[in-house]
Amino acid sequence: MMMFDWQDWMCKILTAVVYYSIIANTAWMFVEALFLHARLTVSVFEKSDSFYVYYFIGWGNVTISHRAVQKSLKMAIPPPPYI
């Protein structure tokens, strides 16, 4: 039984990567729509535009939500005794 324990953790890692990719893709679609909206309505008359807000929404928000899910799963599922 000890031989197949790594498959359980590999499955969880791959599942987390797949979910992170899906969430990041959706967040970036939202960021592109927000940027287009800002470009068409608000920023037409302004010369300066900061991309840091869009970077934070696109990467930071996804990372924070992914970490929260990761922490809650870590509390719910105890690690194996050999780690």
The tens digit of pLDDT for each residue in 45-57 reads 666 666 777 777 7
Q: For the whole model, what pTM was predicted? A: 0.48
Q: How far apart are CA 54 and CA 74, in angstroms?
A: 30
In a domain? residue 18 = no
Residues whose CB is less than 8 angstroms from the CB of residue 54 and which lie 6 or more positions away in sequence, other chains included:
31, 34, 35
Mean pLDDT of the chain: 76
In a domain? residue 29 = yes
**Phi-psi category of 61—alpha, beta or left, where left has phi over 0 and alpha has psi -120 to 50?**
alpha
Q: How far apart are CA 46 and CA 25, in angstroms?
A: 29
In a domain? residue 3 = no
Q: How far apart are CA 29 and CA 68, in angstroms?
A: 22
In a domain? residue 19 = no
